[in-house]
Amino acid sequence: MANCNKLFLDYNENLTIKKTKRDKLKDSKEVLRTRIRKYFKDKHPEYKPEFYIQGSYKMGTTILTKDNECDLDDGVYFKREADVTATTLQKWVKDALDGATTTPVEHRAKCLRVIYKEDYHIDFPVYIFPEEDDHPSIAVKNNDFEESDPKEVVDWYKEEKSKSDQLNRIVKYLKGWGDHKRNKMPSGLAMTILAAENLITDERDDISLKETLMKIQEVLEADFTCVVPATPGDD
């Protein structure tokens, strides 16, 4: 096959968030964290928020979309038992974030989304993590708390990435493809898991991507599952 390795390496650079945007994203995160801390100190002092950046930003696989946007997931953890509903706890975090931007905060099923229009957004999933529990539980809108441990996903991916630095680029290519096509494409997490579990390394990224995709197809045709390698092990 034609050697397209340089084109893929250039594409990786195009997918990578530039320092100026990354710095703005981090600054916004700190401003929003301060709002959340102040709100709970003033309104609900028995709930003390702690934070943990998770997801693709933590794993180094965040991409710049074709709309020149990116995102960050910042978990809000309360290390205590919940004496309110999952939806109420989410709503308190939403109240803390309201007014931070001109775009209204989105109350999604498993997070609060703060949108910086045509630039980036920051998601705040909310967790309860009592001392006696082995894993945190995420608040789900109009439902309850569900056991979920995003730190385990990050730890798993770091271990996979330590075997080959090519993995990050292959994941970003797949996520870039998903962003380009959109509409019923696998999620970024699914792309990450499938790539990590089926990576075929090569000195050229174009060959690695092709061989990895062929392996993914072979594995999915045999068993159409994609199990998250972390609590609760959902498909």
17-71 pLDDT tens trace:
999 999 999 999 999 999 999 999 999 999 999 999 999 999 999 999 999 999 9
- Put residue 121 in one of left, alpha, beta given phi > 0 → left and psi -120 to 50 → alpha: beta
Looking at residue 105, what is its pLDDT? 98
- Chain centroid, CA 197 distance in Å: 18
pLDDT the model gives residue 98:
98
Has 71 been annotated as catalytic?
A: yes
* ω into 229 cis (within 30 of 0): no
Mean pLDDT of 210-232: 97
Amino acid type, 64:
L
Q: What is the pLDDT of residues 70-112, one digit of tens each?
A: 999 999 999 999 999 999 999 999 999 999 999 999 999 999 9
Mean pLDDT of the chain: 97
As a whole number of angstroms, the distance between CA 212 and CA 218 comes to: 10
- Check whether 1 has a pLDDT greater than 80: no
132-150: average pLDDT = 97
* Residue 7 binned pLDDT confidence (cut-offs 50, 70, 90): very high
pLDDT at 184 (0 to 100): 84
Under 8 Å between Cβ of 175 and 188: yes
Catalytic residue among 27, 67, 123, 223: 123
Domain ranges of the chain: 5-12+154-222, 18-148
Name the DSSP class of 82. -
Q: Of 10, 23, 27, 73, which residue is the catalytic one?
A: 73
Integer Cα distance of 170 and 32 in angstroms? 32
Among 26, 135, 116, 23, which residue's Cα sits nearest to residue 77? 135
> What single-letter DSSP state applies at residue 165?
T
CATH fold of the domain at 18-148: Beta Polymerase; domain 2 (3.30.460)
Catalytic residue among 27, 42, 67, 71: 71
Cα–Cα distance, 228 to 101 (Å, whole number): 33
H-helix segments, the chain:
5-15, 19-43, 55-59, 86-97, 150-161, 166-181, 188-198, 205-222
- Picking from 141, 125, 156, the residue whose alpha carbon sits closest to that of residue 230 is 156
- Buried (b) or exposed (e) across 101-140, using 16+ Cβ within 10 A? beeebebeebbbbbbbeeebbbbbbbbbbeeeeeebbbbb
SS3 71: strand
Average pLDDT, integer, range 9-15 = 98
Known active-site residue 73: yes
The token duo for 55 is 């997801």
Nearest to 231 by CA among 132, 176, 177, 156: 156
DSSP H or E run through 121: strand 120-124
| 183 band by pLDDT with thresholds 50, 70 and 90 | confident
Residue 185 confidence (pLDDT) above 80: yes
Q: Which 3 state secondary structure label does DSSP give 72?
A: strand
